Chains A and B, each alone.
Chain A
Amino acid sequence: MKSLGLIKPNIRASLFKIITGFLALFLCDLLQMVIPRLTGRAIDLLADSGTAVNDLGLLIAVIMGLALTVAVLRYSWRHLIYGFSRGLEKDLRRRLHSRFLRLSLTWHQNNSSGDLMALATNDIESVRMAIGFGSVSLMDGIVMGLAAIIFMLSINPALCFYAFLPMPLISVLTKYFGRAIYVKVLETHDVFGQMTEVVREQFSGIKVIRAMSLEKLSQAEVDKISLIHLVKNVHLSLTMGLFFPLMILLTNLALALTLYLGGRAAMAWTITPGDFVAFITYLALLSWPMMALGLTLGLLQQGQAALDRLARVMLVSEKENHPAQAGADLLKPDGVEIAFKNVSFAYQTRPNIVLDNLTLTCPRGRLCALTGPTGSGKSTLAALLPALYEPSAGQILINGRPTTAWPIKNLRDLFGYVPQDGYIFTGTLAQNMAIGKPEATEEEVTAALVTAGLPPERSVFPEGLETLIGEKGLSLSGGQRQRLALARAVLMDPLFLILDDTLSAVDAAVEDEILNRLIPQRKGRGTLIISHRLTSLKAAETVFILENGRLTGQGTPRELEERPGYFQTISRLAQRRPGPLRSLTVV
């Protein structure tokens, strides 16, 4: 129940709304039961020969008045209660989103994005359904159920006993089936998701499928998942089909019992025949609230479970990024010197050590490069600089101050970080660029794109900077994405630029051009280039070699070429293959 604290502020803020809403709902339920009784009264009046037209008129006026009141009450409670649940949904989602943004990458690594998305979609929706629809049905069920039960008890308590015989069974079955149905519903949703993915794969790979004449196989893939989808849905309907008719059957069997026992009681004159009819009518009426109650309880349970999951993320004192140093602003320095001191690092999700007691320095204004085999820890090293992760041991000093002692905002303002896969947000080219510098002018944005080798030409971007890109717009190739990510960082014009294998998907020729433009611009400020390509590495003043998380070499490219080691190996490999080209490179 601790998780209720999550929605307490919302409840407190809307307390009046909620209470009024439920009051309206309660009145509405009561009045709705009165109208049929008044109708019955009217008919009784008419059966009595001495009825005056006035009496009938009065009764009808009351009915109409009540109907109007019910309509107004209904409108009100729907507005108040469902309005509140929608508002709560919005607020929860907003808070969850902000929370996600501020949790450390380490935390995110421990939680798959699929799970987080489930929190943001299914769980928040479950809470809304429980608070809105769930609580309303509960109220409905309780009011109508109680009223029916009270009427029935007042008619004949003994008969009630028999009539209620199947009720415990109904509750037990509802609980069991509710769970089973819930699980099956999730399964069908899952399969639908998988089916969507499989179908999408066929279409996005259509060229390859065609070229290899795999049409049959591709059709079989779709048929296979479609068949699973079919089976899961039929299973779900079978479970639901077992449940709902069974509930109706149980109520009906209770009715059959009441028909006999109640009829006998009426014969023996322990109840009147009128009571007998009323009893049966109420019992038939009761079956729906009982069933609804079962389903509602399921809905409330799901809501509670969802709220618990949300609370686990939002209330638990999980460390947000550098909360302690969020305060005072530091003056922006005019240069950046980076020093790793005995830094070790391991991801929490994986056992192996990624960086092992690493010590290196990239002095102020220097163009450094980092290379090494795949998996040697290069990208991790890059991500440690803007404190996306914190070292497990050792210190990273920025201008002599450990990263953990920097206000996080100031620290990150120093770095322009370009990761390996250029991530694109849905939106225009300009919006994607704004991440680097929101207040940049159009000229600055264009200049940055030109530097990064992705000029916003109309032949590529039909709407120029306003071209929609990403999921809903123009899809960019890997190379284009990388260049866009680079342009972002170029636009930011940071004191220290980190290029993490940023141009791996770009033609060697284009890469060369980009570096020729970029490197002069970076004069006097720090840059770290991580790459496999000799072109990039040879442009650097200092090259670091990382193998298995350890520094195995450092020096100028020329020095490293002379020394046996990784660098010498790769440069020889490159030279051996084209043979005569080696002499041409000098030209």
Chain B
Amino acid sequence: MSERFYLSRDLKLLKYLKPAFKPFKGLIIASIAMIMAAALISLVLPYLTKVAIDQYILPLGRLVTPGDKTLPAELEALLTHDDLEPTTQEGVFFISARKAAGLDARQEKNLTQAGLLAPERYYFRPIDSGFTQKEALDLAARSNLLQIWPKGLAVKESDLPRLPGGVNLILRGADLSGLKKLALFFAVLMILGYFFDLGQRYYLESGAQKMSHELRSLIMAHLMNLSQSFYDHQQSGRLTSRLTSDINNINALIKSTAASFFSDFLSLFGVTAIMFLLNPTLAAITLILTPLAGFLSWRYGHEAREIHRDLRAKVAAINQSFNESINGLMIIQAFNREKETEAGFEELNEANFKAGARQVHSVAVFLPLVDLCATMVLSLVLWFGGLAVLDNTVTLGVLAAFVGYAGRFFIPIKDLAEKLNTFQSAFASLERIEELLENQNILSPKEPVLLPGPAGGLVEMKNVSFSYGPGRPVVIKDLSLTIRPGESVAIVGATGSGKSSLISLLLRFYDPTAGEIFFDGLPLNSLDIKAHRRRLSLVTQDVYLSSGTVLENLRLGRHDLPEEKIVAAAAAVGADRFIRRLPRGYDEPLGSSGQSLSAGQRQLLACARALIDAPQIIILDEATAFVDTETELLIEKALATVLAGRTSIIIAHRLSTIRRSNRILVMESGQLVEEGSHEELLALKGIYSHLAVLQGLSIA
């Protein structure tokens, strides 16, 4: 897992998201479109406020004296003669607020100084369909502040506050309804924005979550197909986090990329472009501290990730230790080890505190520094921009715009620093997932041969040797054996003698390194693995239980199985009794790994399952831990029912099951060393008879 951020390699990793992305492309794209729409809508308020003031609240125009009918140069580009409203004074014309706004501060100053533009501003209400000539005249009669011009009523800016309230409202009637429309438009836009925002959040979460679900499903399916030897080197905890926290990281990537990465980069580039269009010199000054801010963000992003990871590990360690203190309390108290436990815990607690303090420090340095950068840039812009304004080389408007942008420029930089974290962990997760998906270690013959009818049950091993990998010890050495249909064979041997490996080979978890295995005369590696395993039934000490009900656990996904058959099997092995005593009987949910059941009860369920399966061959890997005599008798009875009339291979610990077998094989160091019936082997006085003596003394 690399710390750095290699763009080309990381982009390549995105191909693993493709199959998950495809079905939900629409959702994601729709949500991005909505994000953009919502972002645009959120920008309108400053603009609408300006419109409200310029068009409705204070639409103040100017009086212009063009003299010999030609417009002053500054105005010529802005208006035509049609834009000039005649006033009561000869040769003096009114230009509307909108037109006058085209002048910048310096032009306005020049014209005013030349006496072409009157300093006083006017409000002008033209006569139109909403304001008749008669109404205008009636209104003018109510206040002498109103001037009657050829095309409407006018009032000086300085006289506006002195107009009687009633007159003002009639005069401004059109403005008021315009303002009302504007406010309504704003409200409608905001409601629209609300739906975009809502939709965006919903679609994005759904899209990202569905992608995550799909990805999880794909990886799970892939893992289920991998050879058993893959699992020899994997810890289940690590595999689990591929499907949980790693996918969560990717989920965050999908969301943050879509939600804000686009918009951050977009606004960064957008602001830069606008600034350069407005004034390249000032733009360059604004950008002067960007490399510093960028560097700070980069450093912080790395540090934050490292601290975050460290903190997470520390918290996990603390929680684990806490958990152990609670669960191991009996031991701690019984051995008087409270003080020692506290000391160990305090070490972890202190380490976590230090990591936390480091995080506080890192953020406390970074955030104020970036903000300081922003204010410094603002100061620079004010200083150089201000000098330029005084020099008349830059207008005040441009400077005001720069002041606004300079502040906004640093927000996406800060954001991106925080995102870097999400990005890096997501790509690290993707890398780990790549490792899983690229593993093609799948055990299956090229052209599976289907198994023949149910008559079989013949197992043959011919000169089989096996080791778990090159350089690892040979655990089965040149072993040959034949088990006839219906025969019951027990395998006895000390731990590590190769019993379990033998079973793994029969189930084809692995292929033998040498020799061959045949089932009903067909070589094992030509058979369809799943079909093969379905014809075997493995009953072990750890019973696989899902979180479903008892019935579902017996049914194991075979929905065509009638309930009566299941209940009959449960009754046959004696599991029926305890199931019926559960609060909801067969519909009792078993919860996480069936923890509510005792070991014996779980074993009984396994027996019931095996009976439902009616397999040709039963492989029994029994264990006796934690089972008292009574339960043991119950299980034994159940097994007798299951084993009757079937080929069975038993790794036995209980003498009773061994005795029931037709043949006993004794293994040592991967080889068969003794073979025969119970009595024959006892007479041999070898390994078996030694084991039997010990077993005979025990009741379990």
| A582 pairs with B327, CB closer than 8 A | no
Q: Which residue of B lies closest to A470 (CB)?
A: B324
Contact indicator per residue, chain A 474-509, by CB within 8 Å of chain B (1) or not (0): 000011000001001000100000000000110111
| B243 pairs with A60, CB closer than 8 A | no
Interface assignment of B561: CB less than 8 Å from any CB of chain A: no
| A259 pairs with B48, CB closer than 8 A | yes
Interface assignment of B273: CB less than 8 Å from any CB of chain A: no
| A210 pairs with B183, CB closer than 8 A | no
Given A46-B386, A212-B556, A508-B695 in contact, is the A222-B220 Cβ separation under 8 Å?
A: yes
- Most A CB within 10 A of own CB, among B165, B213, B234, B387: B213
Q: In the docked arrangement, what's the CA distance between A236 and B236, Å?
A: 30
For B557, list chain A residues within 8 Å (CB): 214, 216-217, 220
Given A105-B329, A195-B244 in contact, is the A120-B319 Cβ separation under 8 Å?
A: yes
- Most B CB within 10 A of own CB, among A68, A413, A435: A435
Given A82-B364, A208-B544, A230-B212 in contact, is the A70-B56 Cβ separation under 8 Å?
A: no
Given A534-B697, A534-B699, A574-B699 in contact, is the A212-B626 Cβ separation under 8 Å?
A: no
Interface assignment of B577: CB less than 8 Å from any CB of chain A: no
| B202 pairs with A90, CB closer than 8 A | no
Interface assignment of A388: CB less than 8 Å from any CB of chain B: yes
Interface assignment of A27: CB less than 8 Å from any CB of chain B: no
Q: In the docked arrangement, what's the CA distance between A487 and B184, Å?
A: 82
Q: In the docked arrangement, what's the CA distance between A337 and B331, Å?
A: 22
Count CB-based A-B contacts (< 8 Å): 448
Q: Which residue of A lies closest to B188 (CB)?
A: A256
For B327, list chain A residues within 8 Å (CB): 113, 423
Interface assignment of A347: CB less than 8 Å from any CB of chain B: no
| B213 pairs with A221, CB closer than 8 A | no
Q: In the docked arrangement, what's the CA distance between A64 and B155, Å?
A: 45
Interface assignment of A86: CB less than 8 Å from any CB of chain B: yes
Given A63-B375, A284-B45, A533-B699 in contact, is the A121-B319 Cβ separation under 8 Å?
A: yes
Q: Which residue of B lies closest to A411 (CB)?
A: B336
Q: Which residue of A49, A236, A434, A478 is within 8 Å of B625 (Cβ)? A: A478
Interface assignment of B441: CB less than 8 Å from any CB of chain A: no
CB distance from B497 to the nearest CB of A (A): 12
Q: Which residue of A lies closest to B245 (CB)?
A: A196
Of A12-20, A273-281, A303-311, A362-370, the one with at least 4 CB within 8 A of chain B:
A273-281
For A222, list chain B residues within 8 Å (CB): 216-217, 220, 243
Q: In the docked arrangement, what's the CA distance between A102 and B341, Å?
A: 11
| A533 pairs with B700, CB closer than 8 A | yes
| A373 pairs with B379, CB closer than 8 A | no
For A351, list chain B residues within 8 Å (CB): none
Interface assignment of A203: CB less than 8 Å from any CB of chain B: yes
CB distance from A207 to the nearest CB of B (A): 7
Q: Which residue of B lies closest to A93 (CB)?
A: B349
Of A134-142, A166-174, A261-269, A397-405, the one with at least 4 CB within 8 A of chain B:
A261-269
**Residues from 115 to 145 in A contacting B, C-beta threshold 8 Å:** 116-117, 120-121
For A199, list chain B residues within 8 Å (CB): 220, 239-240, 243-244
Of B62-70, B416-424, B534-542, the one with at least 4 CB within 8 A of chain A:
B534-542
Q: Give the dominant DSSP class at B's interface.
A: helix
CB distance from A272 to the nearest CB of B (A): 9
Given A222-B217, A268-B169, A512-B694 in contact, is the A241-B328 Cβ separation under 8 Å?
A: no
For A552, list chain B residues within 8 Å (CB): none
Interface assignment of B671: CB less than 8 Å from any CB of chain A: no
| B693 pairs with A584, CB closer than 8 A | yes
Q: Which residue of B lies closest to A201 (CB)?
A: B593
| A578 pairs with B695, CB closer than 8 A | yes
Q: In the docked arrangement, what's the CA distance between A222 and B547, Å?
A: 11
Q: Which residue of B57, B379, B691 is within 8 Å of A67 (Cβ)? A: B379
| B659 pairs with A578, CB closer than 8 A | yes
For A284, list chain B residues within 8 Å (CB): 45
Of B125-133, B174-182, B511-519, the one with at least 4 CB within 8 A of chain A:
B174-182
Q: Give the dominant DSSP class at A's interface.
A: helix
Given A210-B507, A268-B169 in contact, is the A373-B205 Cβ separation under 8 Å?
A: no
| B324 pairs with A210, CB closer than 8 A | no
CB distance from A283 to the nearest CB of B (A): 10
Q: Which residue of A100, A105, A425 is within 8 Å of B330 (Cβ)? A: A105
Q: In the docked arrangement, what's the CA distance between A217 and B553, Å?
A: 10
Interface assignment of A213: CB less than 8 Å from any CB of chain B: yes
| A78 pairs with B625, CB closer than 8 A | no
Interface assignment of B342: CB less than 8 Å from any CB of chain A: yes
| B372 pairs with A585, CB closer than 8 A | no
For A229, list chain B residues within 8 Å (CB): 209, 213
For A207, list chain B residues within 8 Å (CB): 228, 231, 509
Q: In the docked arrangement, what's the CA distance between A238 and B695, Å?
A: 64
Q: Which residue of B175, B221, B346 is within 8 Å of A94 (Cβ)? A: B346
CB distance from A7 to the nearest CB of B (A): 16
For B689, list chain A residues within 8 Å (CB): 584
**Residues from 180 to 228 in B contacting A, C-beta threshold 8 Å:** 180, 182-184, 186-187, 190-191, 193-194, 197-198, 201-202, 204-206, 209-210, 212-213, 216-217, 220-221, 223-225, 228
Of B10-18, B290-298, B353-361, B641-649, the one with at least 4 CB within 8 A of chain A:
B353-361
CB distance from B141 to the nearest CB of A (A): 21
Interface assignment of A159: CB less than 8 Å from any CB of chain B: no
For A237, list chain B residues within 8 Å (CB): 201-202, 204-206
Contact indicator per residue, chain A 35-49, by CB within 8 Å of chain B (1) or not (0): 100010011011101
CB distance from B241 to the nearest CB of A (A): 8
Q: In the docked arrangement, what's the CA distance between A471 and B328, Å?
A: 13
Q: Which residue of B176, B210, B371 is within 8 Å of A74 (Cβ)? A: B371
Contact indicator per residue, chain B 149-184, by CB within 8 Å of chain A (1) or not (0): 000000000001101010011001001100110111
CB distance from B378 to the nearest CB of A (A): 7
Question: What is the total number of residues of chain B having a CB less than 8 Å from a CB of chain A?
Answer: 159
Interface assignment of B390: CB less than 8 Å from any CB of chain A: yes
| A219 pairs with B224, CB closer than 8 A | yes
| A219 pairs with B217, CB closer than 8 A | yes
Interface assignment of A227: CB less than 8 Å from any CB of chain B: yes
For A344, list chain B residues within 8 Å (CB): none
Q: In the docked arrangement, what's the CA distance between A51 and B699, Å?
A: 106
Interface assignment of A323: CB less than 8 Å from any CB of chain B: no
Q: Which residue of A60, A78, A412, A570 is within 8 Å of B360 (Cβ)? A: A78
Given A71-B372, A86-B357, A419-B331 in contact, is the A208-B542 Cβ separation under 8 Å?
A: yes
- Most B CB within 10 A of own CB, among A87, A217, A571, A582: A217
Q: Which residue of B209, B342, B365, B387 is within 8 Å of A98 (Cβ)? A: B342
Interface assignment of A406: CB less than 8 Å from any CB of chain B: no
Of A147-155, A176-184, A243-251, A520-528, the one with at least 4 CB within 8 A of chain B:
A243-251
Q: Which residue of A lies closest to B689 (CB)?
A: A584
| B371 pairs with A233, CB closer than 8 A | no
| A79 pairs with B360, CB closer than 8 A | yes
Q: Which residue of B lies closest to A434 (CB)?
A: B340
For A218, list chain B residues within 8 Å (CB): 224, 546
For A419, list chain B residues within 8 Å (CB): 330-331
| A97 pairs with B696, CB closer than 8 A | no
For B144, list chain A residues within 8 Å (CB): none
| A508 pairs with B183, CB closer than 8 A | no
Interface assignment of B501: CB less than 8 Å from any CB of chain A: no
**Residues from 354 to 385 in B contacting A, C-beta threshold 8 Å:** 356-357, 360-361, 363-365, 367-369, 371-372, 375-376, 378-379, 382-383
Given A93-B318, A221-B547, A222-B220 in contact, is the A100-B325 Cβ separation under 8 Å?
A: yes
CB distance from A123 to the nearest CB of B (A): 12
Could you list 28 examples of A-B contacts with CB < 8 Å? A46-B396, A63-B378, A82-B360, A101-B325, A195-B244, A210-B533, A211-B538, A216-B557, A217-B546, A220-B557, A222-B220, A222-B243, A230-B213, A234-B205, A234-B206, A252-B186, A256-B190, A268-B169, A273-B53, A277-B53, A388-B333, A417-B331, A426-B324, A509-B494, A511-B698, A574-B699, A584-B689, A584-B692
Query: Top 5 nearest A-B pairs by Cβ distance?
Result: A241-B201, A237-B205, A581-B696, A67-B375, A78-B364
Other than the given A116-B326, A581-B682, 5 more pairs (CB < 8 A) read A63-B379, A249-B194, A417-B331, A471-B320, A512-B694
